[in-house]
């Protein structure tokens, strides 16, 4: 029995061990560039999820999001944007959104294809985030921070900047 426990601990500690994927993360996101992002690959890592819009007063947050991503991605952070026209401030096509993000803010973090984050046609990921936090996005650039356990989710209003004390005090302890 003792030998089995030691073997199990060794396997658990092995670098190749994959953390179990929570139901929240058990999904694949298709980016504006047509690439797949399997969120299970980010199990045991913090994920900052943001609904975005290209023509919003909060659009300058793209800069801070990109800086956060570049500074902390080696420590495990994934920033992922979800463009949405739910508040009538997004460009009309995925191609235009991708071009705007790249040319205006040099966004390198993954951006999903445009989808709804509120209303009757809300994408399933946002439905789950809203259910867990009991908070739906009320405007563009609402942020959800998914903890390393893949279950705990913090919600931040649009007016709270990505590099704010509120966000960073939750994020920094999660980084490796």
pLDDT above 60 (res 124)? yes
- Among 75, 92, 74, CA closest to 83: 92
Q: Where are the domains of the chain?
A: 19-174
For 30-86, the three-class secondary structure string (H helix, E strand, C coil) is: EECCCCEEEHHHHCCCCEEEEEECCCCCCCCHHHHHHHHHHHHHHHCCEEEEEECCC
pLDDT at 1: 53
- 19-174 maps to which CATH number? 3.40.30.10
Q: What pLDDT score does 18 carry?
A: 61
- Point out the least confidently predicted range of 18-27, 29-38, 77-86: 18-27
Distance CA 51, CA 137 (A): 8
Quick one: 24 exposed, middle or buried, by C-beta within 10 A (0-12, 13-18, 19+)?
buried
Mean pLDDT throughout 84-101? Answer: 97
**pLDDT-above-90 percentage for the chain:** 88
pLDDT(9) > 80: no
Mean pLDDT value across residues 139-160: 97
- pLDDT value at position 20? 84
Per-residue confidence at 75, pLDDT binned at 50, 70, 90?
Answer: very high
Position 8 pLDDT exceeds 70: no
Q: Given the DSSP bridges, would you call strands 78-83 and 47-52 parallel, antiparallel or unpaired? A: parallel
Higher per-residue confidence, 111 vs 12? 111
Q: Is the pLDDT of residue 165 over 50?
A: yes
pLDDT in tens, 126-137: 999 999 999 999
21 counts as catalytic = no
Given the residues 21, 40, 56, 101, select the one marked as catalytic.
56
Comparison of pLDDT for 82 and 19, the residue scoring more: 82
Q: What's the pTM value of the predicted model, to 2 decimals?
A: 0.89
pLDDT surpassing 80 at residue 176:
yes
Q: Is the pLDDT of residue 4 over 70?
A: no
Residue length of the chain: 176
């Amino acid at each position: 029995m003792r030998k089995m426990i030691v073997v199990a601990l060794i396997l658990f500690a092995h670098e190749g061990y994959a953390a179990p994927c929570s139901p929240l993360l058990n999904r694949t996101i298709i980016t504006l560039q047509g690439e797949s992002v399997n969120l299970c690959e980010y199990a045991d890592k913090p994920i900052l999820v943001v609904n975005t819009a290209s023509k919003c007063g909060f659009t300058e947050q793209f800069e801070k999001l990109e800086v956060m991503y570049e500074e902390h991605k080696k420590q495990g952070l994934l920033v992922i944007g979800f463009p949405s026209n739910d508040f009538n401030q997004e460009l009309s096509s995925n191609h235009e959104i991708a071009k705007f993000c790249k040319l205006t803010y040099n966004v390198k973090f993954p951006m999903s294809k445009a989808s709804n984050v509120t209303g009757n046609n809300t994408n399933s990921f946002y439905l789950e985030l809203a259910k867990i936090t009991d908070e739906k996005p009320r405007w563009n650039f609402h942020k959800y921070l998914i903890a390393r356990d893949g279950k705990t989710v913090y919600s931040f209003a649009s007016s709270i900047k990505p590099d704010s004390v509120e966000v960073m005090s939750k994020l920094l302890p999660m980084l490796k």
